[in-house]
Amino acid sequence: MDKKVSKGMNKKAGKTKIENKNFPWKLGIYPLLELVFFIAANMVDNPLLSLIFVVIAGVMLSFSIHIFFHECVHVREEFPMPINIINTIFLGLPFDGYRVHHYNHHTYANGLKDFSSTWYIKNSKKTAFSACRYTFGWLQQLSKAMQEPKPFNEKLGDVAVIKARIYPQKLTLFFFCLLLAFIGLKTFILYFILVYFGWAFSSLHNYGQHPPIQKELICTYENKLYNRVTFNNGLHWEHHDKPWLSWEQLEIDKKSSRINHPHLIQPCFFTRNT
């Protein structure tokens, strides 16, 4: 196992799944807001207003990924097919593909084998991505994920079983996109914008959680109001340290690395002294 394996894979009871197995309905407010703003973008006739609404929907998608779908991945190894289909449509990518991606992230914790690492190799040297290149180049993470045969620690799940569920989810997404195109070109284009910018914002969010300014840095944003509204999403160091805890069981740890702004905003304020 790579030496950059997340602290969450430590000897402490060997747990990797969240202790509270209840479906995180409460966190579903973010996918709901994503849907509301996407519908609003489709309904308005003003192109500028439509674009504003779909970008807001993209922001809601990024929080859906980091809060609701993130919790779903940790809550259970497998969901019934209808839930996988719904999750896939909201994500714009196969839900179990996201599962592979996130398990990989917890295995390598921003090391170079992490698909979402904020570092890359250039001229045989470990180099930091710029926030802009990392944010808008998120599709590169997909190509890495598809090419890696053993993407995560086997204790997290059976990679063959998980990947087998991805193909029907891809088919679902393909036929859903055909349906959107049949409904109207505007709807199809807005969905494409939603997915692209939603995952771009999600990447920016991850950049704030794992800024490439210090080896394996994992950052926590401790503001109480923010963490109440985002279901402790700011406690990222604590989540990596104990990934088997549900969002409501996380508590601020005095050992965690702190930042002064929310993860989605922090990349605009990074300094070498962060």
Quote the CA–CA distance of 221 and 200 in Å, as a whole number.
Answer: 20
Q: Which domain, by its residues, includes 159?
A: 7-269
Does position 28 have pLDDT exceeding 90, yes or no?
Answer: yes
Residue of 258, 244, 239 whose CA lies nearest to 67: 239
The CA distances from residue 210 to 19, 21, 88, 121, 267, in Å, are: 25, 27, 26, 17, 10
Domain assignment present for 181: yes
Domain assignment present for 194: yes
Domain assignment present for 202: yes
Domain assignment present for 63: yes
Confidence (pTM): 0.90
Quote the CA–CA distance of 205 and 203 in Å, as a whole number.
Answer: 5
Q: What percent of the chain has pLDDT over 90?
A: 79
- Residue 216 has a pLDDT of 76
Domain assignment present for 13: yes
Give the pairing type, strands 219-220 and 125-128.
Answer: unpaired
- Residue 20 has a pLDDT of 53
Does position 10 have pLDDT exceeding 50, yes or no?
Answer: no
- Residue 63 has a pLDDT of 98
pLDDT band, very low/low/confident/very high, at 98 (cuts 50, 70, 90): very high
Does position 1 have pLDDT exceeding 60, yes or no?
Answer: no
- Residue 17 has a pLDDT of 58
**Continuous segment of H or E residues that includes residue 136:** helix 131-136
Domain count across the chain? 1
pLDDT band, very low/low/confident/very high, at 2 (cuts 50, 70, 90): very low
Domain assignment present for 274: no
